[in-house]
Structure 1
Amino acid sequence: MASRVGLLLPLKYCRDEAVRQALEAIPVAVKSNEGLSERRVAVQQLLDQAFGGDLLLLDGHDSDEFFATQLRPGLIPQLAKSFSYVVDVLDDQNGAVELCAVAPFGWRSYGELVEWFNGVDPVSGAVNPARWESLTPFFVSGNTGSMRLGYGYRNGAKLIRPCEDLPRWFCLRPDVTDAPVSVRFEMGQYGWARLHISLADCRASMDLSNVFDPFDDLVAWGREVDEGDLPVMI
């Protein structure tokens, strides 16, 4: 999986009781049986309680136990006032990661934080002006991870049951009828091929590698789709 580089600000070290209580209520809000819009409203209200409108849910992103937000500049002074970040951990292969030390969040502005974050390359130790990234705050709750389409890398294809339960929010229009699907392989060089799929006016192509052979998984994926065992992705 791809990694995220940044700072960890554990809620247990938040020095503002009201802020901590508001943020600790978010996992209950995102797991409620309410609709998507209602859950988004509830989560945003809790974020507003904590930060007074300086931390916003991103449009088009479902709020769950691992979601991205958009910050306003006023968030950074609030973090400096109430939060600490992790500076030392004990990573045990046979157990949980243990937090060993934290330090006060010492940046006074967003510009100051971004300048520090991008100022020194973590590998070479040199300043790299070409590497300049903005920062996105994430809310992470409990023992959760984020699985998103197009994000991550694996050696070889596998069938995955995605977190996005689209049938919960969408259904096929009653006037839509099945259309024939055509599949064509285009053989290339050096172990590469292309798979072309056509469905009515829709066409899609993907590269296939002989190094990480995807064909058995493609057959298994097609069988799951044919049997209606959904959602499934490859």
Structure 2
Amino acid sequence: MLEPAHLDLWLYPVLTVVAVFTGFIDAVAGGGGLVMMPVLLSTPLPPHVVLGTNKVQSMCGTAMATWRYWRAGLFSFRASAPTALVVFVGALIGSLAIQRLSTDVLKLVVPVLLIAVALYTVLSPSMTDDDRHARLGEKGYMPVGAGVAFYDGFFGPGAGQFFTTTLVALRGLGLTRATGLTKYLNVTSNIASVIVFTIGGQAMWILGLCMGAGAMTGAVIGSHFATRHGAKVIRPLLVVVSLGLTGRLLWSWFTG
């Protein structure tokens, strides 16, 4: 269990508090990494350990959000299990690939995709709580889910937005239902990534679980907020987070 001695103890409660906020954002619209990743990268931890530890805390927060959305009756574990299995495999492959390949191309391509997500969210009449005609069934969506999961394991920022937007656009789900199913698929991809990073000795479990407790607290608040207010809250937050992630990634790209 990797725990570098040079990480100051005061960082543990600070990062836990930050995780409460990121857990809230993730539960409602995804994109908590917009806040958490820069904070973690400002610590003495090496980048690959930051990625692994962030996956641990994200897994905890997303698991709590998943449970809350399931309790609200927004998705079925059994009905979505085949897609979740494909997502698990996609994330597993992506997490293995990130340890061998450069993310430079993704850093340029992903902002374009996130801008597309923001525009679709603003302009599309489908981004409501009403279910619509599905363009793809469960099996037809599997390659899309696998692709998003590979990206989540490989790089990560915006994966929740990509899941939600494609579930609305292709599966015809209402926005709140799509957000609930997104959490299930997201926690599945997080578990796959955590397995890979842990085997590689690139996850700080004590820190990750401390932050995970904060993320779970934020997820309880956020999922309650989202299920109570629905698309009128999720839709603007999805736009804000997508644009925020876009700005952050572009800034990172141009500043090196």
TM over 0.5: no
| Structure showing greater relative contact order (alpha-carbon pairs closer than 8 Å, 6 or more residues apart) | 2
- Larger strand proportion, structure 1 or 2? 1
TM-score, normalisation: structure 2: 0.26
- Larger helix proportion, structure 1 or 2? 2
